[in-house]
Amino acid sequence: MQSSSGQAQRNCVSCGRSIAWDANVCQFCGHDYRIQMMPPVPQKEDSAMPVVGGVLILIGSLAYFLIGGLMAASGTALLGLTLGGSGVIVGCGILVLLLGVIALLGGIFAIQKKHFGMAIIGGVLVIPSILGLIGLILVAVSKDSFEG
Ligand SMILES: [Zn+2]
């Protein structure tokens, strides 16, 4: 402290020697502090991520509509033949369709960056598809850009 002209000093993180507080480069070992000056803080420019995630969740929800629709349709076609089993197939088809609606809503909410919880539920529902899983991750990591 008393050795130099009263200038603030700090220890170099690389070599440990005392250097000027505002030095850009360590005069002893050449450690460059300017690189660390630039903070790698991601700004809110990642606003496209929940939108992309929402679209992927929407695509994933289409599978539910396809499967649910097929089940309901085939169950309805069998309705006249076997009363017991066909009703179960129709019921399952409607259930799958409902899951598709929830996933669809989740995808729409993700695109609008509203109702983070619903968007996550929609994303979880479409995990079986790879696109849906990616969509869920994209939505989950961009929680901060959601309104609520
Ligand atoms: Zn140094």
Q: How far is the CA of 23 from the centre of ligand 1 (A)?
A: 10
Mean pLDDT of 97-123: 95
H or E element that contains 9: strand 9-11
**Whether residue 137 has pLDDT greater than 70:** yes
Residues 26-43 have pLDDT tens digits of: 999 999 888 655 566 655
Q: What pLDDT band is residue 10 in, cutting at 50, 70 and 90?
A: very high
pLDDT at 100: 94
Q: How far is the CA of 14 from the centre of ligand 1 (A)?
A: 5
Q: What pLDDT band is residue 1 in, cutting at 50, 70 and 90?
A: very low
Q: How far is the CA of 18 from the centre of ligand 1 (A)?
A: 8
pLDDT at 45: 57
Whole-model pTM? 0.62
Q: How far is the CA of 25 from the centre of ligand 1 (A)?
A: 8
Q: How far is the CA of 39 from the centre of ligand 1 (A)?
A: 21
pLDDT at 87: 78
Q: How far is the CA of 41 from the centre of ligand 1 (A)?
A: 25
Question: With contact defined as beta carbons under 8 Å apart, do 112 and 58 qualify?
Answer: no
Distance CA(19)–CA(23), nearest Å, equals: 7
Q: How far is the CA of 29 from the centre of ligand 1 (A)?
A: 4
pLDDT at 79: 67
Q: How far is the CA of 40 from the centre of ligand 1 (A)?
A: 22
Of 30-39, 57-66, 112-121, the one with minimum mean pLDDT is: 30-39
Angle between helices 116-125 and 83-112 (to 10 degrees): 130
